[in-house]
């Protein structure tokens, strides 16, 4: 078990007038503590490693911890699945064109929520409940590696992204903590191999 960084205000604490302190109140307390220790005010807006990380929003996946990155070093774009949607491309365009990033790491992971249902299931449920269908695609997948390759292709074939020579995709195994590379061609990746 990895402990959260701060556990300053314990659960069940009662604040002013005896009102229970809820989760977000506790988080705001953590933020006060953060500001007290803060020393990173000189960091530049441009990520110093010129890196963008596109990853699933899964709570078990900690891209900064996994890749050994700190504040000011990279951009993180996250959504359900870590899929390269139009909005991911929008963020990557801005990241590269205005904020100087050059390399992109994509991270999918095992036991992803997006493997557990289909687009039609969600769309039918939403339609049945609300009478409307969303304008966005759900983008579920049943093959992690194939979706990762598709996500890489969406980046490398985008006319709007200037730097596509260093785009690499990985699957994080939530069961072992290991990272496995998936090449754009589907051939086995060799650790340490260039490309």
Positions touching Zn ion (CB under 5 A) are 56, 58, 112
Judged by beta carbon, residue 51 or residue 112, the one nearer Zn ion is 112
Per-residue 3-state assignment (H helix, E strand, C coil) for 94-149: HHHHHHCCCEEEEEEECCCHHHCCCHHHHHHHHHHHHCCCCCCCCCCCCCHHHHHH
State the Cα–Cα distance between residues 90 and 47, nearest whole angstrom.
Answer: 17
State the Cα–Cα distance between residues 90 and 98, nearest whole angstrom.
Answer: 12
Smallest gap from Cβ 76 to Zn ion, in A, equals 14
- How do strand 167-172 and strand 103-109 relate by DSSP bridges? parallel
Judged by beta carbon, residue 26 or residue 109, the one nearer Zn ion is 109
Judged by beta carbon, residue 47 or residue 169, the one nearer Zn ion is 169
Judged by beta carbon, residue 52 or residue 112, the one nearer Zn ion is 112
Judged by beta carbon, residue 56 or residue 69, the one nearer Zn ion is 56
Structural contact between residues 83 and 154, judged by C-beta atoms closer than 8 angstroms: no
State the Cα–Cα distance between residues 195 and 133, nearest whole angstrom.
Answer: 42
Question: Between helices 86-99 and 144-156, what is the axis angle to 10°?
Answer: 50
Smallest gap from Cβ 84 to Zn ion, in A, equals 14
Smallest gap from Cβ 55 to Zn ion, in A, equals 9
Smallest gap from Cβ 46 to Zn ion, in A, equals 28
Smallest gap from Cβ 107 to Zn ion, in A, equals 9
């Amino acid at each position: 078990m990895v402990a959260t960084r701060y556990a300053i205000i314990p659960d069940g604490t009662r604040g002013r007038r005896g009102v229970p302190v809820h989760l977000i109140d506790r988080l705001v307390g953590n933020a006060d503590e953060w500001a007290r220790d803060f020393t990173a005010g000189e960091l530049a807006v441009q990520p110093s490693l010129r890196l963008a990380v596109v990853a699933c929003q899964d709570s078990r996946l900690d891209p900064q911890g996994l890749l050994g990155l700190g504040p000011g070093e990279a951009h993180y774009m996250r959504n359900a699945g870590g899929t390269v949607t139009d909005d991911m491309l929008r963020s990557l365009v801005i990241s590269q064109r205005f904020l100087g990033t050059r390399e992109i790491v994509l991270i999918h992971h095992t036991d992803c929520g997006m493997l557990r249902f289909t687009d039609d299931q969600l769309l039918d449920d939403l339609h049945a409940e609300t009478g409307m269908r969303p304008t966005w695609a759900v983008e579920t997948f049943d093959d992690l590696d194939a979706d990762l390759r598709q996500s890489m292709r969406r980046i490398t074939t985008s006319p709007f992204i200037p730097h596509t020579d260093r785009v690499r995709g990985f699957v994080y195994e939530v069961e072992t903590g290991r990272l496995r590379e998936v090449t754009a061609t589907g051939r086995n990746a060799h650790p340490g191999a260039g490309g």
